[in-house]
């Protein structure tokens, strides 16, 4: 059987796509409500914290790059511990599907198809995601590369289209609420890194240069993601102002409506949706992949493909319930989701790193085998 190989470019593209759509679509509005015009500063702080956590996530598997977090847990403390790790990652991706579906549905339904039922968006996204997940990580990696190209193009166009409306005075005064409050607000952006950190936990054994360049790839992927996202944070603050940004659930669509290039390219949000779609559908794909892989480990099935349909049913029911009510969706996004994501995504790598140090001899014997 051919071993799955994820190239360096695929890995970086997968991290960027997994973070980008929700970060510019929902997170900036949350940050604007929390910290005002310093939302771009909070985004930069979150990027630095993401780099640190991604590096720690790599340290966990540095000496055993052929093992993912679940397999590493089995080596350290037995199969029962591996199942606990699988359950935590399963909960993270199941809960993370809520914000992902909020991003997908509210972009299209609120701005283009207000009369369409929510289930139509849920079913269509899950069908596309299930097909991508079924064909495997290499296909998903190639899709992510296409998505990364579209993201670069989207950023170039939004910069060009927003230049005439840019007003740096909307970003002042700097750190109006003080550094501690801005740093606390950056935790909302850290939540976006949680899915990417658990991506490393699952696919690092498949990355072709995980041994010599794993740490570099992880940090570079966060830096690339952060710089692509902070562009939107600055533009939304400077073009719309923090007050306007805070009033929108999908603030990036308001920015897209303000953007224009010349006299012929006015409906910019249509172009944005076209370029944006690959990235958001990749997020759906990887939520299906993460939940199906972990559920198969919990049950004890070798192939995760048998779990794709049951997982899609669970994700569909949960995601539709979240999205149907705007107030429920916003409360979940700002209150419940961070309480689930941060302890798992940040706590699990730190706990495994500690256990790795405690059981160093057992780990070294596993690395030699």
**pLDDT at position 2:** 46
Question: Given pLDDT bands bounded at 50, 70 and 90, which one contains residue 269?
Answer: low
> Which tens digit of pLDDT belongs to each residue from 351-364?
999 998 888 777 76
- Please give the backbone phi and psi of residue 260, each rounded to the nearest 5 degrees, phi first: -155, 150
**pLDDT at position 1:** 37
With a cut of 70, say whether residue 5 has pLDDT above it: yes
With a cut of 70, say whether residue 260 has pLDDT above it: no
The H helix count followed by the E strand count for the chain is 17, 0
> Which tens digit of pLDDT belongs to each residue from 9-21?
899 999 999 998 8
Percent of the chain exceeding pLDDT 90 equals: 32
> Which tens digit of pLDDT belongs to each residue from 280-333?
899 999 999 999 999 999 998 888 999 999 999 999 999 999 999 889 998 998
With a cut of 60, say whether residue 254 has pLDDT above it: yes
Residue 265: strand pairing partners:
261
H-assigned helices in 62-186: 69-77, 79-111, 118-135, 137-162, 179-185
Chain mean position to CA 204: 16
> Which tens digit of pLDDT belongs to each residue from 183-193?
988 888 889 88
- Please give the backbone phi and psi of residue 6, each rounded to the nearest 5 degrees, phi first: -105, 120
> Which tens digit of pLDDT belongs to each residue from 191-241?
988 888 999 889 888 887 766 666 778 888 888 888 999 998 898 888 888
Read off the pLDDT of each residue in 160-165 and give the average, rounded to a whole number.
Answer: 82
- Quote the mean pLDDT of the chain: 86
- CA atoms of 194 and 340, how far apart (whole Å): 10
With a cut of 80, say whether residue 263 has pLDDT above it: no
* Most confident option among 61-65, 80-84, 168-172, 222-226: 80-84
Of residues 369 and 342, the one with the higher pLDDT is 342
Of residues 269 and 166, the one with the higher pLDDT is 166
How many CB atoms are closer than 10 A to CB 318?
16
**pLDDT at position 210:** 65
Assign residue 175 a region: left if phi > 0, alpha if psi is -120 to 50, beta otherwise?
left
Token pair 């049951």: residue: 310
Question: Given pLDDT bands bounded at 50, 70 and 90, which one contains residue 369?
Answer: low
- CA atoms of 245 and 237, how far apart (whole Å): 7
**pLDDT at position 265:** 52
Read off the pLDDT of each residue in 49-63 and give the average, rounded to a whole number.
Answer: 87
What lies within 8 Å, CB to CB, of 324 at 6+ separation is 118
**pLDDT at position 23:** 87
Asked whether 24 and 160 are in contact (CB, 8 A), the reply is no
């Amino acid at each position: 059987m051919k071993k799955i190989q994820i190239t360096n470019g695929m890995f970086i593209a997968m991290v960027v796509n997994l973070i980008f759509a929700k970060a510019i679509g929902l997170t900036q509005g949350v940050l604007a409500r929390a910290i005002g015009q310093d939302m771009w500063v909070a985004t930069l702080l979150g990027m630095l914290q993401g780099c640190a956590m991604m590096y720690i996530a790599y340290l966990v598997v540095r000496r055993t790059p052929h093992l993912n977090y679940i397999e590493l847990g089995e080596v350290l403390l037995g199969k029962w511990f591996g199942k606990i790790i699988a359950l935590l990652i399963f909960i993270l991706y199941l809960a993370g599907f809520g914000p992902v579906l909020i991003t997908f549905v509210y972009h299209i339904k609120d701005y283009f198809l207000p009369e369409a039922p929510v289930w139509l968006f849920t079913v269509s996204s899950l069908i596309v995601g299930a097909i991508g997940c079924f064909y495997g990580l290499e296909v998903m990696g190639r899709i992510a590369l296409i998505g990364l190209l579209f993201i670069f193009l989207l950023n170039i166009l939004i910069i060009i289209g927003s230049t005439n409306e840019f007003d740096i005075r909307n970003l002042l005064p700097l750190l109006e609420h003080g550094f501690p409050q801005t740093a606390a607000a950056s935790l909302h952006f850290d939540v976006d890194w949680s899915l990417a950190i658990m991506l490393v936990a699952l696919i690092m054994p498949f990355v072709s240069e995980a041994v010599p360049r794993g740490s570099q790839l992880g940090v570079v992927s966060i830096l690339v993601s952060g710089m692509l996202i902070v562009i939107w944070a600055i533009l939304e603050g400077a073009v719309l102002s923090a007050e306007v940004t805070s009033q929108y659930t999908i603030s990036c669509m308001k920015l897209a409506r303000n953007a224009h290039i010349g006299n012929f390219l006015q409906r910019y949000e249509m172009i944005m949706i076209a370029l944006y779609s690959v990235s958001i559908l990749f997020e759906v794909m990887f939520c299906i992949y993460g939940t199906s892989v972990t559920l198969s480990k919990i049950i004890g099935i070798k192939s995760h493909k048998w779990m794709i349909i049951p997982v899609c049913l669970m994700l569909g029911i949960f995601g539709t319930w979240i999205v149907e009510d705007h107030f429920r969706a916003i409360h979940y996004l700002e209150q419940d989701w961070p309480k689930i994501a941060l302890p798992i995504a940040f706590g699990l790598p730190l706990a495994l790193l500690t256990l790795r140090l405690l059981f160093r001899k057992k780990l070294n014997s596993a690395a030699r085998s």
